[in-house]
Amino acid sequence: MMILGLSSPTYMGGFLPERDPLLWLLDRCAEYDLHALEAGLPPDGAEDPVEVRKKAADLDVEWVAFWSSDFVEPACGAAGLRELAARAFDVANQGGCKKLVIHGHGAKHNRFVRKPSLDVQLAKMTDNLPGVAEEAAGRGLKLGLLPHLDYRSHEVLKVVTDVGHSALRIAIDCANALPVSEEPVHAVQALAEHAITVAFKDVRVYPYRSNDVTIWGTPIGQGSVDYETILPILKSRLPDSATTTGCIKVRLPPNNADHDAWLRQSIEFLKGRI
């Protein structure tokens, strides 16, 4: 059974408090009896990661941090990227994190841009990530590289395989395959054996014309992502389902603030299936 949790993008769009958002999110985990939290590292001078660590321990919640940088063409080069990673991972250690979900800057680099080409982008990521993985390993951290609306599953998996470092694994978001024209079931089949974290997100796709496709979030199990097929795949193929976090990431449409109902429906759907 996976560790069911909450992913902070659920409250994107101005719903997170400005003061102590991580502590607030931990309270939401307690409210819904969830035992993992995916959320970003606090900026310098914001929340104290040690305080977050203590509260997470008191509530029996595992904090899985987010970290993002430009892995293709870092402005500071591979050495500078490694330094950025080291500083971020020190904060993660202070916060008691054992795993981080990492992703690149998809708006700048993705499989749909022509320069640099897709092959070059993947090669540059492969060149730049070993130092990042070394910094993680030196602190006892595991990294899950996330296909973040930028690359398809086999492309991200190729980077992880080519880097070949035990600290660099895969993070899955079950709906992220759709914007890169990939079937979510196929993506999960490709990635499950390499995953250390999973985000449960569901969306409904409304196709109209090739340049007019709308994707809206839904509670888990009510959208276009085939969870009835995906969940058994995760159960059978995850390397260690008992330590794998599965965090709910509901994405409400504009002008909708019904987080409570969507979360409760999603939890009800997932419990007993994971």
CATH number of residue 225's parent domain: 3.20.20.150
Q: Which of 216, 217, 241 is nearest to 231 (CA)?
A: 241
The 8-class DSSP code of residue 9 comes to: G
Cβ neighbors of 101 (< 8 A, separation 6 or more) are: 38, 64, 65, 66, 67, 143, 144, 146, 171, 197, 199
Which residues lie closer than 8 Å to 164 by C-beta, 6 or more apart? none
Number of neighbours of residue 182 by Cβ within 10 angstroms: 18
AA letter at 124: K
Sign of CA dihedral 173, 174, 179, 181: positive
Residue 192: CA count within 13 A, CB half-sphere: 20
- The answer, yes or no, to whether residue 235 has pLDDT greater than 90, is yes
pLDDT of residue 210: 75
The pLDDT score that the predictor gives to residue 211 is 79
Domain count, the chain: 1
Mean pLDDT for the chain overall? 96
Could you tell me the pLDDT band of residue 187, with boundaries at 50, 70 and 90? very high
Measured on CA atoms in the order 11, 61, 246, 91, is the torsion positive or negative? positive
Q: Is the pLDDT of residue 221 over 80?
A: yes
Q: Mean pLDDT, to the nearest integer, of 167-177?
A: 98
Angstrom CA distances, 67 to 44, 63, 242, stand at: 14, 13, 24
The predicted pLDDT at position 212 comes to 83
Domain limits at 230? Answer: 3-270
Which DSSP string corresponds to 229-255? HHHHHHHHH-TTGGG-EEEE---PPTT
Model confidence at 141, pLDDT cuts 50, 70, 90, reads: very high
Residue 71 CB neighbour total at 10 angstroms = 23
